[in-house]
Structure 1
Amino acid sequence: MLMVSMGGLISGALTQLGMFCYFGDQVQEESEAVAFAAYSAQWYHATPSVKRSIGIIMSRSQKPAILTMGKFADLSLDTFATILRGSYAYFAMLNELNS
Structure 2
Amino acid sequence: MDQSLVEKDGLLTDLIEYHKLILDLSNRLIIAFRRIIFVDLLVASILLCVLCFQLVMFSGSSVIIYFAYVFYIIAILTQVSFFSYFGSIMSYESELVCEAIYCSNWYEVSPKIRKMLLLCMMRAQLPVNINAGFMQASLPTLRAVSFNS
Unaligned segments of structure 2, at least 5 residues: 1-63
What is the TM-score normalised by the length of structure 2? 0.52
- Aligned residue number for residue 51 of structure 1: 114
CA shift for structure 1 position 48? 1.8
1:63 match: 126
Correspondence 1:1-99 to 2 at 5 A = 6-68=69-131, 70-87=132-149
Number of residue pairs aligned between Structure 1 and Structure 2: 86
Instruction: Name the CA distance, whole Å, in 1 between partners of 2:70 and 2:87.
Output: 25
- The residue identity in structure 1 corresponding to 2:140 is D
Q: CA RMSD in A?
A: 1.6
What one-letter code is carried by the residue in structure 1 that aligns with 2:108? H
Q: Letter of the aligned partner of 2:103 in structure 1?
A: S
Q: Percent of pairs identical after alignment?
A: 30
Higher gyration radius (CA): 2
Q: Which has the higher helix share?
A: 2
Q: Which segments of 5 or more consecutive residues in structure 1 lack a partner in the other structure? A: 88-99
Q: Distance in 1 between matches of 2:67 and 2:142?
A: 24
Report the TM-score when normalising by structure 1: 0.75
Counterpart CA distance in 1 for 2:125 and 2:118 is 11
